[in-house]
Amino acid sequence: MASNTSSSSQEALNALGQRLRELRLDAGLSGRDLSRLTGWPPSKVSKIENGRQAPSTEDVRQWCFHCRVPEQIPDFITSLRAVEGMFVEWRRMERTGLKQALESTVPLHEKTKRFRTYNAWLIPGILQTADYTKAVLSTIAGRRGVPDDSDEAVKVRLKRQQLTRMGDHRFAVIVEESVLYSSILSPELMYRQLEYVVDMSALQRVSLGVIPRSADRSSMWAVESFWIYDEDRVTVELVSGFLNLTRTHEVRMYAQAFAALSAIALHGPPARDLVLAAARTYRDLLR
């Protein structure tokens, strides 16, 4: 894992390095002593302790063994795997195509009861038509150089939408008004997409918020797109991959950001009016 993938994963890597440093100091070993015992280059100990290099599982085993605390090996390996799991590269997740990547998230969606999502660029998947999803996924496949199995991936995404009509799942969606005017389809298909958003927002389980372009942003500006799953997990989309955040204070920060964004958004009929206004813009282009 590269040490500069994200501030959150880097922070966790730094914390792990500091814990390993404390083990070494408690054992009365210098960095040179540990390098000699493990056969590592002297710089490796310093890089791991300062978060510039992620240790491997075997590195952690040797570190704990030579610091005479083998009983702590399982705990440190668990911590290492948590750090590794925070950042997932798209190329690793999507190496066999988009369908499998979407299928891997199905269990998380099925067990989640309360979804909160914010998007500054696109209509979230839960509100997308098949045509919109197809356009998004085809573009992603081309940009990331992975197999374009978007036709099959669309089926997975649409099946996931059934959660809006099943069980006790609830969805709170917030988008910027500019998202409604991001023309990734023909005017006719964009018109249908926005009509679909209006229809979906009428469902009892779905709450739609639209932040108008005229909103006062002094209290909360646009941020990265994210999903919150219950109170347990947040995923944040980046260009190179996505962050998988599970630490309580980070989940809380995104929940607070969602609440602040929701406070400046319009909801109910006023939100649908913004969507319908954008839909009329596309309809007018068809005349």
Domain CATH number, residue 113: 3.30.870.10
pLDDT of residue 8: 59
pLDDT of residue 41: 93
pLDDT of residue 191: 98
pLDDT of residue 141: 83
Q: Are residues 147 and 250 in the same domain?
A: yes
Q: Are residues 52 and 193 in the same domain?
A: no
The answer to whether residue 58 is domain-embedded is yes
Domain CATH number, residue 45: 1.10.260.40
Tokens 């911590």 locate to 79
Q: Are residues 73 and 102 in the same domain?
A: no
Distance (Å, rounded) from C-alpha 218 to C-alpha 201? 28
* Closest-CA residue to 91 (of 235, 238, 229, 234): 238
Q: Are residues 25 and 153 in the same domain?
A: no
pLDDT of residue 5: 44
Residue-by-residue pLDDT tens, the chain, 287 positions:
443 345 556 777 888 899 999 999 999 999 999 999 999 998 999 999 998 888 998 999 999 999 999 999 988 887 787 776 666 555 555 666 788 878 888 888 999 999 999 999 999 999 999 999 999 999 888 877 778 899 999 999 999 999 999 889 999 999 999 999 999 999 999 999 999 999 999 999 999 999 999 999 998 998 889 999 999 889 887 655 677 888 788 889 999 999 999 999 999 999 999 999 999 999 999 97
